[in-house]
Amino acid sequence: MLTDWFRTVCGRASPAWNHAGVTHSAAKMKKAAAHIVEIDPAFAEIVEISPLCSIGKGVRTSLTPFHSLVGSVIAQQVSVKAADSITTKLTDQLDGEVTPERVHSTSHEDLRSAGLSGAKAKTIKGLAHAIHTGALDLEKALTHPDDTAVVAELTKLWGIGRWTAEMFLMFTMHRLDVWPTGDLAMRKGWNIVHGAEGDIDPKVLEPLGDPLRPYRSVVAWYCWRAVEGGSSSW
C-alpha cells in the first residue's frame, strides 16, 4: 500500500528541506478537515478517529526533491517489500548520495544491480540527465503555482506518469488540492468511507472531488487512512 511505502522509502536521509517554504499549521489542517466533513459528512468518522493530516510534515520532508522523485519512481507498481529493498540497495550503491550528479555518473548496469528494472533505471538516468543538462529545473518547479503545469513538465520525461507527478506535488511540494484518482488505495478508501465495496472507476471519482476543493489532497490522505487504519505513520 502507498502508506507503507512512505514509511520505508527514505533510506538514508539527506539534509532537511523545506520545499518551497511550505508548511501547514494545525489550524489550517483543522480547517481543511472541517470543510471536508461539512461538504461530505461521510468523512466525519474517519476524520474523528484520525490524527490531523500530516502533508508537509511527513518523513519525506527530509529528502531532496530529486531523492523524493526517485523514490516515487521506485515505488511504481511494486510491492512495499520490493520498494524498500531496492531503495536501500540503490542508496548503498550511490554511497548515500542520491543526487543528479551521482546518478548521472553511475552506469545503467550499476543502477540495475541495485534491483531496478531496465525501465526504471532508464527513467532515473533520464531524470538525472534532464537536471544535469538544465532541461529540467526541479528547484524552480517547487515554486510553480500551477499544479497542472508541474505535472505536465514532469510527465514530459520518459517513464514519469501522472501518479508519480502527483505524489511529488503532494509529498514534496505539499500541495493540498491534488486529486490522485489513479491511485488504487485512494479509490478503495473512498468506497470504504462511503460504505461501498470494491473499486470506484477513476472517471466516476474524478468529478466527485470537485466540491471538496481546495483540500482534495487532504481528502485523499483520509481515504488512505481508511484503508490503512492505525498502521499509517506518515
Closest CA to 75 of 134, 1, 177, 150: 1
**Arithmetic mean of pLDDT, 143-169:** 92
Angle at 193 between CA 190 and CA 198, to 5 degrees: 55
63-171: which CATH number, 1.10.340.30, 3.30.1300.10, 1.10.472.10, 3.20.20.70? 1.10.340.30
pLDDT of residue 18: 46
Other CB atoms within a 10 A radius of the CB of residue 24 amount to 18
**What are the pLDDT digits (tens) for 79-116?**
767 888 998 999 999 999 999 999 999 999 999 999 99
Closest CA to 72 of 146, 183, 179, 149: 183
pLDDT of residue 47: 98
| C-alpha cell of residue 157 | 520525461
Q: Is it the case that residue 6 has pLDDT exceeding 60?
A: no
pLDDT of residue 116: 95
Residues of the chain with CATH 1.10.1670.40: 21-58+178-231
pLDDT of residue 58: 60
CA distances to 90, 200, 215 from 87, rounded to whole Å, are 5, 31, 30
Rounded CA gap, 98 and 101, in Å?
8
**Arithmetic mean of pLDDT, 139-156:** 89
Closest CA to 138 of 154, 155, 125, 123: 154
pLDDT of residue 214: 98
The total number of residues shown for the chain amounts to 234
Residues of the chain with CATH 1.10.340.30: 63-171
**What are the pLDDT digits (tens) for 34-65?**
999 999 999 999 999 999 999 987 655 678 89
Q: Is it the case that residue 233 has pLDDT exceeding 70?
A: no
pLDDT of residue 143: 83
pLDDT of residue 61: 61
pLDDT of residue 188: 95
Rounded CA gap, 214 and 144, in Å?
17
Q: Is it the case that residue 2 has pLDDT exceeding 50?
A: no
Mean pLDDT of the chain: 86
Is 134 in a helix, a strand, or coil? coil
pLDDT of residue 15: 35
CATH architecture of structural domain 21-58+178-231: Orthogonal Bundle (1.10)
**What are the pLDDT digits (tens) for 184-219?**
999 999 999 999 988 999 999 999 999 999 999 999
pLDDT level of residue 230 (50, 70, 90 thresholds): low
